[in-house]
Amino acid sequence: MGTRGREIVGIDVEEVLRLLNQAYASEWLAYYQYWLGAKLIKGPMKDAVAAELNLHATEELQHAVLVAGRILQLGGTPVLSPEGWLAMSPCKYDAPEDPYVAVLLDQNIAGEQCAITTYKELMDATKDKDMVTYNMALTILAQEVEHEEDLQSLKEDLELMVSRGSK
Ligand code: FE
Ligand code: FE
Ligand code: MG
């Protein structure tokens, strides 16, 4: 932890750490949901969708790396156990029980929408007060917005394919 770096944070550091650990917990759950979904997936366009799910999994893991780094810089401790991920995450873990492409896409779209809300809240809380966290949250938010759009666009392609194919 850098002492001057911590001093310049203009809001309660413990509050920032709480928000960061919530985001951190969600990233691990998102990582696993994507990673396992990519292995189980069944149905039309499964190869294209699996490739995107795998890419997103690696990007969620990179988000966890960024968030953990900021938690440590501020003198905090990243959530210590998988039980903690479930307890702390504002976004739920949606097990890929039904491996059909459209179901997995819907589950992960909901996850991205929750992630977008989480980082928006982190940005609102840190704006003009903790520029380093704010900037990191902006970087991640931009990627979550991209993730949502990627998945919604795959869902649209899938729906077009299924509806046209049945005529
Ligand atoms: Fe993420
Ligand atoms: Fe994402
Ligand atoms: Mg993508």
What is the tens place of the pLDDT at every residue in 122-152? 999 999 999 999 999 999 999 999 999 999 9
Residues with CB under 5 A from ligand 2 (ion): 112, 144, 147
Give distance in angstroms: CA of 167 to centre of ligand 2: 35
- Report the DSSP beta bridge partners of residue 100: 42
Ligand 3 centroid from CA 151, angstroms: 8
The pLDDT tens digits of the residues spanning 22-49 come to: 999 999 999 999 999 999 999 999 999 9
As a dihedral over the C-alpha atoms of residue 42, residue 43, residue 45, residue 49, rounded to 10 degrees, the angle is -30
- Model confidence over 55-80: pLDDT tens digits? 999 999 999 999 999 999 999 999 99
What DSSP string describes 61-126? HHHHHHHHHHHHHTT-----SHHHHHHH-SS------S-BHHHHHHHHHHHHHHHHHHHHHHHHHH
pLDDT attached to residue 164 = 85
Q: Which structural domains are found in the chain, ordered by start?
A: 12-107+129-165 (1.20.1260.10)
Among all chains, which residue has been given the structure tokens 């005529």?
A: 167
Rounded distance from Cα 144 to ligand 2 centre (Å): 4
Q: Is 41 helix (H, G, I), strand (E, B) or coil?
A: coil
Closest ligand (CA of 66): 1
Q: Which of 54, 62, 38 is nearest to 142 (CA)?
A: 62
> Which pTM value belongs to this model?
0.95
